[in-house]
Amino acid sequence: ADSQTFFARDELRTNGVLPLLSWDLNAPNQPPKITLINVEHTTRVLGSAATPNGRVYAVGQEWTGVISFWNPVTGEALGQLHSSSNGYIGVPYRFSPNGQKLASYALWSTIRLLDRDLPQKELSVLLPYIRIRDSAFSADGKFLAVACEDHCIHVMETATMQEVAILRGHQQAVVSVAFSPDGRTLASCAAGGTLKLWSWPARREAATLAQGSIEFRFVAFTPDGNALLAGGWGKTQIFRVASLAE
């Protein structure tokens, strides 16, 4: 969320109450705060996401075609987005840096870009025969990188959701992507343990940091952009990445 708070949802109770746990990362030994969210008319939660500032929590509700928004501290309802004539609204996955837009996954190969205040501005892109594994916004929110099972990273311009680049170089499915805080570097990891850096201004591969040592499942930059965390199967490695993608 805001780099100081970690959220995790518990199982949805039979009465429609969803316990949301939050930890203060400045006091990791303290028990989590529990907020009860009253999610109505659903029997299952399909995905969730928090805004970067930790003030809004999105919940995907099965069967209702609704993504609901909540204050994760008070449990107050903040509104909903519904499926439109364009089809299933999808599962909430990633908020833009300013928290205004939300990327959701509809089926395996469709990604939608939703606006919390302007639901009529819904944009979507279908990547034929490609399963989406992860996505990440650039720091300025202008681009959305999508990790896919076709071994590629597909990058969309968020204003139109038009594809502006395809980054090729991995030999297996790409499972996680992350932009650096300055927006100049994109990190990715793929099945088989390959970890790469890409120069986003040049739209090219810049470095291979690891290959086959660990089956990485996620990548994330530190807030200063000088280090990259990559982890999977109970292990996390830290790589110094300053200037590698210049």
**In this structure, what are the phi and psi dihedrals at residue 192, rounded to the nearest 5 degrees?**
100, -10
Residues 6 or more apart whose CB falls under 8 angstroms from that of 198 comprise 153, 167, 169, 185, 186, 187, 188, 204, 205, 206, 245
CA-to-CA distance for 6 and 20, rounded, in angstroms? 10
**In this structure, what are the phi and psi dihedrals at residue 119, rounded to the nearest 5 degrees?**
-60, -25
CA-to-CA distance for 226 and 2, rounded, in angstroms? 18
**Which residue, 77, 28, 33, is CA-closest to 57?**
77
- pLDDT tens sequence across 59-79: 998 777 789 999 999 999 999
**Residue 229: HSE in the Cβ half-sphere, 13 Å Cα cutoff:** 11
Q: What type of residue is 31? A: P
| Structure tokens given for 52 | 């970067």
Highest-pLDDT range among 2-11, 61-70, 74-83, 120-129 = 74-83
pTM (predicted TM-score): 0.90
8 Å CB contact between 196 and 202:
no
Which of 42-46, 57-61, 91-95, 160-164 has the weakest average pLDDT? 42-46
